[in-house]
Amino acid sequence: MLLLLPGPVQTRPETRAAMGVDIGPWDDEFRAVVAALRERLRVLAGGREGEHVALPLQGSGHFVVEAALRSFVPPGGKVLVPVNGTYGRRIERLGREAGRAVVTLPCPDTAPVPPEAVAAALAADPAIGHVAVVQSETGSGVVNDVAAIGAVARGAGRRMILDSVSAFGALPFDIGAHPECDALVFTSGKCLEGMPGLACAVARIDRLGEPGQAGSWCLDLADVYRYALAAGWGRFRFTPPAQVVSALSVAVDLHEAEGGSAVRLARYANNARIFHAGVRELGLTPYLPAEQQGPVIVNVRAPDDPAWDLQRFATLLKTRGVMICNFYTTETPGFRVGCIGAVAEEAMRYALAAMRSVLDEMGLRRREAA
Ligand SMILES: *Cc1c(COP(=O)(O)O)cnc(C)c1O
């Protein structure tokens, strides 16, 4: 099966093979793998030794987004969340349910968040201490200019938390060059092309206070840090998904062997370009114009035809060996196709051919020429 999802992604056989063993997580060999992986993840984020640390956390992306909000925005603190899609809205909810005061900056989901709008929102409310923003908005496929938004936060004397979950390992952001950034967060199962199950923050040491502020022991990044200082860099507080950690270590080797994030970004951008152009040739309309299309996920508008049925489309694609999501996250109906993972342009062309055949089988002939 060819997985064309924006996470979990298609992985390489070497990565999957690392899962096939039993592991004692407190064993010395495994602890050495964890300690080395943490250093490599810090370096990949541009984190500086002695200034930043990689703090792994069991769970999916939401867990570490919430952990970062709880650990860096103090109770009673106010956070500005620019929302130009589903994942921005999820930060809003995670912050509210954690009891932080959340101010949203609603923006259309078809364009990046304008940094000037962030500047205006910060100027209007001096009580806002943090901006929490998504780098690659997986909801629509738009990429936000988080370097510019970070510069705005810095200029206004505020802090930033970056949801880099669908970006890290491909899109650039150098935390070492962004002292306003308390933490950037990501997971094992997206652009790093590992298996799902491990989340991670790369965070500023000087912003990690005493454990307890998070109001959740499980999601307290300050406690993750204190524990590592006391017990060693190879230790987790609670049982880790050890096989996922091992697989991520192999996936990071493969990331390096491929040439790093810039080479990976070029492969994904090429995938997205081919797919975006290809769906237009099928008579379908991409959700975003080519100028706004990011490299991670291409959303396509549902054909304006009563014969359209997303579940049926996804099921029929599966019979042709292609797996896409059976839900959409744009403001209007459509389908979403991930361009990340261990896939290159042949996979995108294969998926386009499969889609042509499924659209024909579904009798979707009244497709507007885009
Ligand atoms: C995938 C994703 C997340 C986290 O999703 P999980 O299902 O919890 O891993 C958060 N933010 C963005 C932008 C994402 O793409």
State residue 204 phi and psi, 5-degree precision. Answer: -80, 125
Same domain, yes or no: 119 and 236 = yes
Question: Which of 5, 9, 62 has most ligand 1 atoms within 8 Å of CB, for mutation?
Answer: 62
Same domain, yes or no: 282 and 226 = no
Residue 121 falls inside a structural domain:
yes
CATH number for the domain spanning 336: value is 3.90.1150.10
Residue 14 falls inside a structural domain:
no
Cα–Cα distances in Å, from 287 out to 61, 106, 218, 318, 339?
25, 19, 38, 23, 15
* Preceding amide of 8 cis, omega within 30: yes
Q: What is the mean pLDDT of residues 67-84?
A: 97
Extract the tokens encoding 175: 């935390």
Which residue has the least CA distance to atom 5 on ligand 1? 61
**Shortest-distance atom of ligand 1 to CA 7:** 1
Residue 280 falls inside a structural domain:
yes
Same domain, yes or no: 104 and 214 = yes
**Residue 188 — pLDDT band, cuts 50, 70, 90?**
very high
Does 370 score more than 80 pLDDT?
no
- What is the SS3 assignment for 179? coil
Same domain, yes or no: 75 and 217 = yes
Q: How many domains does the chain have?
A: 2
Residue 367 falls inside a structural domain:
no
User: Which of 257, 272, 300 is the endpoint of a domain?
Assistant: 257
Which residue has the least CA distance to atom 15 on ligand 1? 166
**Which pLDDT score, from 0 to 100, does residue 262 have?**
98
For a pLDDT cut of 90, what percent of the chain falls above it? 98
Which residue has the least CA distance to atom 12 on ligand 1? 165
Q: What is the mean pLDDT of residues 257-278?
A: 98
Report yes or no: 189 and 163 within 8 Å, Cβ to Cβ: no
Residue 266 falls inside a structural domain:
yes
Same domain, yes or no: 176 and 324 = no
Same domain, yes or no: 217 and 110 = yes
Same domain, yes or no: 180 and 73 = yes
Same domain, yes or no: 113 and 244 = yes
| Binding-site residues from annotation for substrate | 336
CATH number for the domain spanning 151: value is 3.40.640.10
pLDDT in tens, 229-259: 999 999 999 999 999 999 999 999 999 999 9
Report yes or no: 167 and 189 within 8 Å, Cβ to Cβ: no
User: Which of 214, 238, 257 is the endpoint of a domain?
Assistant: 257
User: Which of 238, 257, 276 is the endpoint of a domain?
Assistant: 257
pLDDT in tens, 122-153: 999 999 999 999 999 999 999 999 999 999 99
Same domain, yes or no: 36 and 151 = yes
Extract the tokens encoding 306: 């009563």
Residue 125 falls inside a structural domain:
yes
Same domain, yes or no: 89 and 204 = yes
State residue 127 phi and psi, 5-degree precision. Answer: -75, -15
Q: What is the mean pLDDT of residues 34-61?
A: 98
Where in the sequence is the domain holding 320, given as residue range(s)?
A: 261-362
Question: Which of 91, 136, 166 has most ligand 1 atoms within 8 Å of CB, for mutation?
Answer: 166
Same domain, yes or no: 223 and 277 = no
**Residue 306 — pLDDT band, cuts 50, 70, 90?**
very high
**Which pLDDT score, from 0 to 100, does residue 368 have?**
59
Question: Which of 94, 138, 173 has most ligand 1 atoms within 8 Å of CB, for mutation?
Answer: 138
Q: What is the mean pLDDT of residues 284-289?
A: 97
Residue 348 falls inside a structural domain:
yes
Does 353 score more than 90 pLDDT?
yes
Q: What is the distance between the alpha carbons of residues 362 and 207, in angstroms, rounded to a whole number?
A: 55
**Which pLDDT score, from 0 to 100, does residue 367 have?**
65
Same domain, yes or no: 313 and 234 = no
Q: What is the distance between the alpha carbons of residues 132 and 68, in angstroms, rounded to a whole number?
A: 10
Does 60 score more than 50 pLDDT?
yes
Q: What is the distance between the alpha carbons of residues 176 and 207, in angstroms, rounded to a whole number?
A: 14
Which residue has the least CA distance to atom 6 on ligand 1? 61
Could you tell me how far CA 17 lies from the centroid of its own chain? 24
Q: What is the distance between the alpha carbons of residues 174 and 74, in angstroms, rounded to a whole number?
A: 25
Cα–Cα distances in Å, from 344 out to 279, 338, 339, 350?
17, 12, 8, 10
**Shortest-distance atom of ligand 1 to CA 164:** 13
Looking at the DSSP assignment, which residues form a beta bridge with residue 298? 337
Residue 189 falls inside a structural domain:
yes
